[in-house]
Amino acid sequence: MKKFLIPILLAALVLLSIGSVFALRDEENLYSSIRLVGRIITETYTKYVDDFDLKKAIKAGISGMLSTLDPHTVYFEEKEYEDLKVDTRGKFEGLGIVIGIRDNVLTVISPIEGTPAYRMGIRAGDQIVKIDGKSTEGIIIEQAVRKLRGPRGTKVTITIRRPGEPKLLDYTITRDVIEIKSVPFYGMINDEIGYIRLTRFSQEASKEIADALRSLKDEGAKSLILDLRSNPGGLLRQAVEVAGLFLPQNSLIVSTKGRKSYQSQEFRSFAPPEFDEGKLVVLVDPGSASASEIVAGAIQDNDRGLILGQKTFGKGLVQSVIDLGNNTALKITTAKYYIPSGRCIQKENYLKRKETAIYSKYYTGEEEETEEEEEEEDTTRELFYTLGGRVVYGGGGITPDVETEQRKLNRLEMELERRSMFFGFAIEYTKNHKDLSPDFEVTDEMVNEFKEYLARSDFEFNTRPEEELENLKKILEESEADSSVYEALIPFEEVLEKKKEEEFAESIDYIKRSIKREIVSALWGEKERYRQIVLKYDPEIKKAVEILTTPGEYEEYLALTKK
């Protein structure tokens, strides 16, 4: 009898609670729909042939309903809610990647600098198709976080699908304590240009940026490069405060718009700026999301500086966490972010899914648009205008004023990173070489030692032609081909082996930089890595310096475009 009363009471509570909601939103016969849900719960629980876990079944129903909305609206049970609270503290044990759902696939938004995932070469855009051999199809972000996090020293294997790579890639990564620093580095590039790297908008972000600005100005900085690449975002208030450090007091930075009037707000800079006159270049990439896009968008729309890099992620949905009691919660999207020109940051691809329950101009109940159709729509983006009248584009994300192309690793470079060859060599090399200075150069002798290390480590990689040749051999073997056929393939094997040596030679600059990167990190730490590697060789930083130092070029980019 007690078991029977549980669903009845549950249904009753649900029906009693909908009265006020129904009064606020009289749409689609809400009362009838919720009564139907209560009836299904009662009938199923009391009449189903086997006993079942009612709590688990209801959670599945809730998850199913929320999955028809956006990827960020989620129900948390006790363990999940505790994980969410850990997120806000900025310290946890895991791999060091920021993940999201992109095109219904679990995707790496960005690796966090200095973490195990970052060192092994995990990249923004990598799709995680398996975790410890189990498919991630249909997984939600919070479930993935629980699987990826774990005690320091334990291992997890993730299977990656990387655009342009024909095969899936397995990465076995050892978990560690992840401490997220807001500003891991700032310094002078030359006598007049300062550089600040901001990795996350944590509670101390604006303070750390302000301290860095004051220090750089004391050193003579007249221009600044603010690096927001692979910055996944963070606290809204910190985004407002960071943007306010570069904009005149009371400048509009971002606004939120929701269905209810109380969900619509404007956020303006409220304190005197620290750096509102010198030249400013902000670096972004596809891993720049949320709060990063607010800052970049506010600077662009107020004509305060140039945005350089690649189009940003397009995450402009505002979430509120509602405590439901019993240590459960609902994280629900309540508004969207709009930057000063009126552009919405959010990409609307989440509205184009056929399973969506959201009414929108995109939803037709049919299949999703193809990549070609989405690309065609992207070329007809709505035009907006900055405070000074420059043309900027809508459609989600921030389109840079100066667009650059991300360098893609070739197969050799990718395999060296994936298998931590540079990291392993640096550890071995620095055991016997303590007399180096931070500005050392990688010599041919060091490269030869690296090759010997690869041989000892049984490092092998196959080029695509080699893989095709191996497939051909299997076919020949299955067809019981004559040995003379195999002999005819020998010249091809020799050519491909020579080609592999040529590929190593073509990658020699990257290999030398990567060897130096890991040795510098091992001996002198992250800050010296920035000084010796990032500031000297990073192509976006070099382009920004070129713009800042070439007379008239910065001003030309900021000039009005034809309307």
Q: What residues act catalytically? A: 290, 301, 315
Tell me, what amino acid is at 348? E
DSSP-derived 3-state class of residue 102:
strand
Q: For residue 477, how far is the Cα from the chain centroid?
A: 45
Instruction: Round to whole Å and give the CA distance between 516 and 520.
Output: 6
Strand pairing partners for 402? 308
Cβ-proximal residues to 472 (8 Å cutoff; 6+ apart), any chain: 489
Instruction: Round to whole Å and give the CA distance between 333 and 315.
Output: 12
Q: How many CB atoms neighbour CB 410 within 10 A?
A: 13
Instruction: Round to whole Å and give the CA distance between 53 and 431.
Output: 57
* DSSP collapsed to 3 states, 12-75: HHHHHHHHHHHHHCCCCCHHHHHHHHHHHHHHHHHHCCCCCCHHHHHHHHHHHHHCCCCCCCEE
Instruction: Note whether 334 and 253 are within 8 A (CB).
Output: no
Q: How far apart are the first and last CA of the chain?
A: 74
DSSP-derived 3-state class of residue 134:
strand
Residue 196: which H helix or E strand, with range? Answer: strand 193-197
Structure token digits, residue 461: 């990689």
